[in-house]
Structure 1
Amino acid sequence: MQTEIGSPIQYYLVFENDFLNVNQLLDKQVTINFVGYQCLNCKKNKKIYRQGFCYDCFFEIPQAADWIMKPELSKAHLGIEDRDLEYEEKVQLKPHVVYLANSSNVKVGVTRKTQIPTRWIDQGAHEAIEIVEVPNRYLAGITEVALKDYVGDKTNWRTMLKNEIQDEDLVAWRDKLRQYIPEEAQQYFIESNTETNLEFPVLKFPKKLRTLNLTKTPEYTGVLKGIKGQYLIFDDDTVFNVRSNEGFVVTLRVS
């Protein structure tokens, strides 16, 4: 889902020739039907392996290379190709931000500067702050690796969806972690910023989570009660991760 910052955040499903504001579906009955696959790269009806790609594409295209999930493996700044140097230079040699986000607990993460606050929204963070802004993905990656020794790097998605969260002083966290930033990235530390607070469109938070698996349950009907991160939350405590189902072709019916 694409998102737009606001109070609350606005969510959109974008189709080939139209789009849908998902917020307008709150308190409405929604039926999801799984009808097939479409790899995000080759567009073929092939079973999705990971990240919306079929098996062959996942192991061939630069959009699914290891440096995507592990920024510290980036080598474009050295002129070294992994799968496609032109693509890698286009993505890796852009300003990146290392940030703290509080979704279920305080965690450190990396994203391109242009993906803020989208990345925070996708993680379901109710507050976040930038720590450093560096000129390439490699520097962001080694900074994240260094900070992971002192702060988490994972979100507990169950805690996030249940809204069992506590506010944290992210400015204090930023200042406390400064000493652990690698020497190469110290000059990029952001000294004077404030945390961003995010409000999600949720009418009712789930208590006992049940995840919707389209391969096991190809048809599901429920009343939409909220949207947080990339999850749809339904009245029977079923949750559906839209991002995790990229490449799945579905029909939606609203009643």
Structure 2
Amino acid sequence: MTYEGVLTKMQTEFGNPIQYYLVFEDSFLNVNQLLNKNIEISFLGYQCLNCGKKKKIFRQGFCYDCFYSSPAVGDWIMKPELSTAHLGIQDRDLVYEQKVQLQPHIVYLALSSEVKVGVTRKTQVPTRWMDQGATQAISIVEVPNRYLAGITEVALKKMYADKTNWQKMLKNEVQAADLIKEKASLKYIIPKEVQEFFYSEKEDLYLMHFPVLEYPKKINSLNLEKTPNFIGRLKGIKGQYLIFEDGTVFNVRSSEGLIVKIDL
């Protein structure tokens, strides 16, 4: 059976285990059903997720021109503290930025390799945590805009990492931690202007169970632009990675915008 289309990040469904789907224009594929089966992935070309043109992908599924013009990839995406929509100040497109920035955001602790702090829109809970391969996650505050979430994250980055060690995450080398206890210690460490939003009555600890039959001991990252054809036996899915029997891992999200053919 053959599937063909533009790669976008895998869609997830919270469950035990998490269900993963590759969604193409005319079809979709439940990736969990491919565990322990051979898959062939072939690179066919590019298609920008923003303009739809067959142009080489620069970053995040966007061609060079779109990456430097689209409001969907402004600096405030990666650095929420740079958000200015709450002040009525435009970065690239104020209407878009108000729509995204002026909605409830969560600052959270997640355990993917070690304890990390992060920001996500409330609508992305628990998707964000599944995408980063976190085994546990807990919300610290729910604030009304992205800027307040950003300054909270900046304060907590003095104590916690803000990036996942992806190799440790894929090897399942996860430090032990009590996220409920960690969260309780933060109430008066977060900025004063967000202390009223602290989730004091909520201790919803999310536990994520990933469909992995075998974790790799050594990791080799697959880059389809350098290796345009790959065949391997799928042994697991974690975060946005496919894990193969020989230790090869494929980051679907970082390959967004590539046109691929998948043969089963």
The residue that corresponds to 2:4 in the other structure is none
State whether structure 2 residue 250 is matched by structure 1 residue 244.
Answer: no
The residue that corresponds to 1:84 in the other structure is 93
1:52 pairs with one of 43, 46, 61: 61
Provide the rounded CA distance (Å) in 2 between the counterparts of 1:143 and 1:133.
11
Superposition map of 1:26-37 within 5 A: 26-37=35-46
The residue that corresponds to 1:194 in the other structure is 204
Which deviates further from its counterpart, 163-172 or 28-37? 163-172
Superposition map of 1:42-191 within 5 A: 42-191=51-200
Letter in 2 for 1:209: I
How much does 1:57 deviate? Answer: 0.3
How much does 1:142 deviate? Answer: 0.4
How much does 1:16 deviate? Answer: 1.1
How much does 1:17 deviate? Answer: 2.2
How much does 1:110 deviate? Answer: 0.1
Question: What's the CA shift string for 1:4-52, capped at 9, x where partnerless?
Answer: 0000000001111221100000011000000000000011111111111
How much does 1:166 deviate? Answer: 3.0
Counterpart of 1:244 in 2: which secondary structure?
A: helix
TM-score relative to the length of structure 1: 0.98
Provide the rounded CA distance (Å) in 1 between the counterparts of 2:186 and 2:227.
44
TM-score relative to the length of structure 2: 0.95
Question: What's the CA shift string for 1:102-140, capped at 9, x where partnerless?
Answer: 000000000000000000000100000000000000000
How much does 1:249 deviate? Answer: 0.6
Provide the rounded CA distance (Å) in 1 between the counterparts of 2:65 and 2:171.
37
Superposition map of 1:207-226 within 5 A: 207-226=217-236
Provide the rounded CA distance (Å) in 1 between the counterparts of 2:204 and 2:76.
29
How much does 1:176 deviate? Answer: 1.4
In angstroms, what is the RMSD of aligned CA positions? Answer: 0.7
How much does 1:180 deviate? Answer: 1.6
Question: What's the CA shift string for 1:40-77, capped at 9, x where partnerless?
Answer: 00111111111110000000010011001000000000
The residue that corresponds to 2:3 in the other structure is none
Provide the rounded CA distance (Å) in 1 between the counterparts of 2:125 and 2:72.
19
How much does 1:216 deviate? Answer: 0.9
**Sequence identity (%):** 67
How much does 1:215 deviate? Answer: 1.2
State whether structure 2 residue 33 is matched by structure 1 residue 24.
Answer: yes
Structure 2 gap ranges (5+): 1-9
Letter in 1 for 2:216: P
Structure 1 gap ranges (5+): none
Provide the rounded CA distance (Å) in 2 between the counterparts of 1:172 and 1:149.
18
